[in-house]
Structure 1
Amino acid sequence: MRITTKGRYAIRAIINMALNAGNKPISIKSISNSEELSPIFLEQIFTKLKKAGIAESVRGASGGFRIARELNEITVLDVLEAVEEGVELAPCTTPEGTCGRSADCAISAFWSDTEEMIRDQLRNQTIQTILDKYMDVE
């Protein structure tokens, strides 16, 4: 499994918002400049984050985006699922089960179990957890 650029940038943007904006709106341009990310790419990400209820837009001169939920309620998995096509480890673990051999393949169950362990880890880590554990925030 590989977390795409979109997923990594989404996490970075949410962390940036949590550190720099509090509950005030922050512009995509501001996040783009401080994180050195493409504003056009961030717009695509924020469209998906808004649709998932993770971010909300605020109109007006001092508008932008802000985090829509409490930081301890937003998991890494929530963010990744909002912007990714999925968090699957192998084709046989997708909801569609695109591998025709998965029913007869012993390794398919292994991939499914491994993927579930990864999903549990991502589900158990919130944005607040990241701030508390990995960032020097007081």
Structure 2
Amino acid sequence: MRLTTKGRYAVTAILDLALHGRGSPISLADISARQDISLSYLEQLFARLRRKGLVTSVRGPGGGYLLARAPKDISVASVIDAVNESIDATRCQGTGDCQQGTTCLTHHLWSDLSDVIHDFLDRITLEELMHRHDVQRIASRQQDSASQIAVLPIAHTS
């Protein structure tokens, strides 16, 4: 199966937004710091998420991003789909030309698996992930780490 970092990072970043946003815009710099995802990469992902109506942007001081829908209305599959990522277990990226231009013996098996995985991820919402104890524990640890980094004194050289 092929799910690249684009899909994984998009899900991670929008889950971070759902956990920390709570009605206030969250900057991509904050998400970048907590999740160790490059800011420029997040900008690309959030542009796609915004175009698909999953997030909205708020400009100006204190700006950032908000979820455009309730967490219960955003599935993991919709996030992956929004960044043009495919969940594809086939060797041919679903085209059916896997064996010298024709369909291979197991193409339909892997295609069916791709559909099952997509359906599975479509049934999982951000809200469900937000309520998982492991997710809450990790988010708390990341927030604490980000807070400690923000208050570290700057060393002055003489």
Structure 1 partner of 2:68: 68
Q: Residues 98 and 25 from structure 1, CA distance in 2 versus in 1: closer, same or farther, beyond 3 angstroms?
A: farther
Please tell me whether the aligned partners of residues 3 and 85 of structure 2 are also in contact (alpha carbons under 8 angstroms).
no
Please tell me whether the aligned partners of residues 75 and 126 of structure 1 are also in contact (alpha carbons under 8 angstroms).
yes
Provide, for residues 113-136 of structure 1, a one-character-per-residue CA deviation record: whole Å limited to 9, x for no partner: 111111111111111111223423
Tell me, what secondary structure is at the counterpart of 1:135? Answer: helix
Tell me, what secondary structure is at the counterpart of 1:29? Answer: helix
Provide, for residues 71-129 of structure 1, a one-character-per-residue CA deviation record: whole Å limited to 9, x for no partner: 111111111111134222214462x4443222xx4311111211111111111111111
Please tell me whether the aligned partners of residues 7 and 85 of structure 2 are also in contact (alpha carbons under 8 angstroms).
no
Please tell me whether the aligned partners of residues 91 and 98 of structure 1 are also in contact (alpha carbons under 8 angstroms).
no
Q: Residues 112 and 64 from structure 1, CA distance in 2 versus in 1: closer, same or farther, beyond 3 angstroms?
A: same
Structure 2 segments unaligned to the other structure (5+ residues) = 138-158
Q: What TM-score does the superposition give when structure 1 sets the normalisation length? A: 0.87
Equivalents in 2 of 1:12, 1:130: separation in Å? 10
Equivalents in 1 of 2:129, 2:2: separation in Å? 19
Show structure 1 runs of 4+ deviating over 6 A. none
Aligned partner of 1:117: which letter? Answer: V
Tell me, what secondary structure is at the counterpart of 1:86? Answer: coil
Structure 1 partner of 2:131: 132
Tell me, what secondary structure is at the counterpart of 1:56? Answer: strand
Aligned residue runs from structure 1 range 1-138, under 5 A? 1-92=1-92, 94=94, 96-99=95-98, 100-102=101-103, 105-133=104-132, 134-136=134-136
Equivalents in 2 of 1:93, 1:38: separation in Å? 27
Please tell me whether the aligned partners of residues 7 and 80 of structure 1 are also in contact (alpha carbons under 8 angstroms).
yes
Equivalents in 2 of 1:92, 1:41: separation in Å? 27
- Name the % identity: 38
Equivalents in 2 of 1:88, 1:131: separation in Å? 26
In the alignment of these two chains, the number of paired residues is 134
Please tell me whether the aligned partners of residues 72 and 126 of structure 1 are also in contact (alpha carbons under 8 angstroms).
yes
What is the Cα-based RMSD across aligned positions, in Å?
1.8
Q: Residues 8 and 85 from structure 1, CA distance in 2 versus in 1: closer, same or farther, beyond 3 angstroms?
A: closer
